Structure 1
């Protein structure tokens, strides 16, 4: 049995360990702003901004998957913000990926910079170049969203640690089943559980995980004082989604590998990025540090018109931003300002039966 198989098997039985006879097997939703609290409040649930049994159950599942304490947030950006604002001080310097999720860079420009926190940008594929001296925090995203370049997490972690920097890895595209940054030396993991962990595109969620108790304490304090708390209904949806993540992720990754190989030889596809292809520039690194190659494919068609026509014309592709749901989805990322070709499409492979999905993709390309 693989480590991921063991994690998946025990994940869906975590709640059983605490159940008394006659209690419901599914997790109840606890929409409570206040709790019965006579006398000394220490050690008890106190207030809805401090505690909630539903999100604590999700944190238990995330901690099980990460093999590290996890703190839940109402979105992936809330998780990233919690790390930035709990760990950084005026005068600190941050390194960010120039080709990662653009909102992280916007957050740094609009809110960190005015507070005296400076930042530099570096491409994911050459993230090691230039070293890490002088940085308080090194933030990496691999595979980078949307271009799918990779960087060597273990090498970055070792070099950054030697320079005295904290390494934060955004693992949204891979989940703990596909890649384990903490095991590779990262200090902190952040992720948008809105994507594959929830899997049904009906809840925003995120988390921070770390094996550093000081980091976890700071992130929890930030959540409590800032009010950046997840809602119990959203937490319940993510809890339910996590129970099937391993099954969905396996199918999505397997389907993506098949589709990527077929797209590679298609005459309408001008360029293709998928770490699982042997001729992808990141393939050897992907084999070394990733458990799976993921479910995202980057394909470039000849023009904006061709890309939009492909997305809108495929009956089993949902035109939408975001990714990781049961529906295969796609979008032309240049419309958000990403530094990609006008015809670049980020394709997120979902859970549809593979041959039916491929048939519609092939028709839409043709």
Structure 2
């Protein structure tokens, strides 16, 4: 019998401590480990940059939740992103990215990797034909987010995975917005899943981290080599906090999604809202694909203010429960202006986001209170 998602989140990689019987994985706050003679590792650990038991427990749990054979934890989502890109790309290689990618991902590719001779083409994540047309002889990766940040567009993971297979490339899915509870990219054919574990996986806005999950043995070895060689690893307390967050991921995502649906319903009928961006809406162009590949539609909502940029900024400043802050995925609700905040690095590029866009990370507070807060700020 295969354990269900919530069971794996609580138990995978988290057996009771054999020494004390502790039901919670200990925080192994050590930098090094005693050895039984030169090269004689008594526990399989030698130095905590290379491996730490708390981090191992986190990695085993992450692999189980994404349905992959291998997981590696990193100090941030961008460190995880960087490791995948450096493991798979060389000067002269080409990759495809969404034309509304996360600003940090775009900055890394456009400002860092392009300086090393890596080329990229932005395409709409929802357009498989556009991705096919962008494939070159030197294309190595198709990199997508779904839903995208911040426009919440949907990519068809299975169709893009088939395209990657047909063209000898690899599909990488940033699964941060959906989490493994709502979406399983590896099961749909993706080669790699990347997370900012800072967001829904940690879930409490108290730890920064990232993860790479794959069933590709060779790629897993390359990522592990970079994890150790570059050293962008989470400390044991960071790993422990993320592992603690994973235990409640299923119940939190159910509440995030339910609250987001209430918020969307309220925004749809407001005269100051020109358009609501949420894949749960039947009129959303990616709705049918989202229904096919997601358990539910998540806690991220964006909307276009009918009165323009200044009005959007004013709403961000007037909320009481929605805190004006970057990041997302915590138990508390957040509001931000992507054009001035998380996606400022895309200004002047073809990935620039609308100036009248507001992004919400809908938390797990009482839904009625969140709706009242937004409506008050809009009025």
Same fold (TM over 0.5): yes
**Residue segments in structure 2 that go unaligned for 5+ positions in a row:** none
Q: Alignment RMSD, CA only? A: 1.8
Give the deviation of 1:360 after TM superposition: 1.5
Q: Please show how residues 267-286 of structure 1 align to structure 2 within 5 Å.
A: 267-286=271-290
SS in 1 for 2:282: coil
294-303 vs 113-122, which deviates more?
113-122
Residue 155 of structure 2 is aligned to residue 151 of structure 1:
yes
> Corresponding residue for 1:357?
370
TM-score for both structures, normalised by structure 2 = 0.92
Give the deviation of 1:130 after TM superposition: 4.8
Asked if structure 1 preserves the Cα contact closer than 8 Å seen for 2:16 and 2:25, the reply is no
> Corresponding residue for 1:329?
334
Alpha-carbon separation, structure 2, partners of 1:139 and 1:270: 30
1:273-297 residue CA offsets vs partner (Å, 9 max, x unmatched) = 1000111111111111111111111
277-286 vs 112-121, which deviates more?
112-121
> Corresponding residue for 2:129?
128
> Corresponding residue for 1:66?
66
SS in 1 for 2:285: coil
Give the deviation of 1:133 after TM superposition: 4.0
Alpha-carbon separation, structure 2, partners of 1:250 and 1:257: 11
Alpha-carbon separation, structure 2, partners of 1:185 and 1:16: 28
Give the deviation of 1:325 after TM superposition: 0.6
Residue 55 of structure 2 is aligned to residue 55 of structure 1:
yes
Where relative contact order (Cα < 8 A, 6+ residues apart) is larger, the structure is 2
SS in 2 for 1:124: coil
257-266 vs 303-312, which deviates more?
303-312
TM-score for both structures, normalised by structure 1 = 0.95
> Corresponding residue for 2:40?
41
Residue 224 of structure 2 is aligned to residue 226 of structure 1:
no
SS in 1 for 2:11: coil
Q: Please show how residues 151-300 of structure 1 align to structure 2 within 5 Å.
A: 151-300=155-304
Asked if structure 2 preserves the Cα contact closer than 8 Å seen for 1:76 and 1:191, the reply is yes
Asked if structure 1 preserves the Cα contact closer than 8 Å seen for 2:98 and 2:125, the reply is yes
> Corresponding residue for 1:102?
103
Give the deviation of 1:13 after TM superposition: 2.6
SS in 1 for 2:106: helix
11-20 vs 60-69, which deviates more?
11-20
Question: How many pairs are equivalent?
Answer: 364
1:121-144 residue CA offsets vs partner (Å, 9 max, x unmatched) = 212232431513421111111111
**Residue segments in structure 1 that go unaligned for 5+ positions in a row:** none
